[in-house]
Amino acid sequence: MSGGVDTPVVIDFPKVVELYQSLARQIVDSGIKPDGYLILGYGGLFPGGLMVKILEPIFGKLPASSLTMSNYDKNNVRLESPIVLEAPPAEIYSGKRIIIFDDVWHTGGSIVEAVRRVAYGNGSPIVATLYFKPGQNLYYGWQPNFYVEPIDHWVQFPWEDPLMLLSDDPCLSLSTP
């Protein structure tokens, strides 16, 4: 994958489809049978929601919840650890295999917080991300159970750029014909 550490790599929708197919294939091929999903917001909301729909024909309709965190304060300064803005009660995970979805494992802070919450509720956390940044991971020995590609630079997904969503392509346009 091209792009330097400071240069974002722009991911288009065809690449997103390829990433989702690969991640879904890994999960299904692993033999894991999840009991539910935890989707990390904000970055993971779109990919997590789509993965739930992709996996629905295989695993059926399973409970999905979101854990919303922020890594930045009100002045947009990066925090040492994420702050939880909204979380489901930990007891909903008891005895369940929960797939935690996020778009990218950057430093690991948000995902490790989610793993700890599921484990605290006596659930079994399973982490799935599209990308993993091993060079920025702050949690030695931790990594996603499933990820599509390692990466060392910033990724810009199509849902993060309003111009891509408002494209002239009729398949991507938000306007009506």
Burial status of residue 62 (CB atoms within 10 A of its CB: 0-12, 13-18, 19 or more): middle
| Domain residue extents for the chain | 9-165
pLDDT digits (tens, 9 = 90+) for 96-141: 999 999 999 988 999 999 999 999 999 999 999 999 999 999 899 9
Residue 111 CB neighbours (<10 A) = 30
In sequence order, the 6+-apart residues with CB closer than 8 A to the CB of 68 are 40, 41, 42, 84, 85, 86, 87
Strands 124-132 and 97-105: parallel
Look up the CATH architecture of domain 9-165.
3-Layer(aba) Sandwich (3.40)
Residue 157: its pLDDT value, please? 86
At 56, is the secondary structure helix, strand, or coil?
Answer: helix
Q: Which pLDDT tens digit goes with each residue over 53-66? A: 999 999 999 999 99
pLDDT tens, position by position, 136-176: 998 999 999 999 999 988 888 888 766 655 555 555 555 54
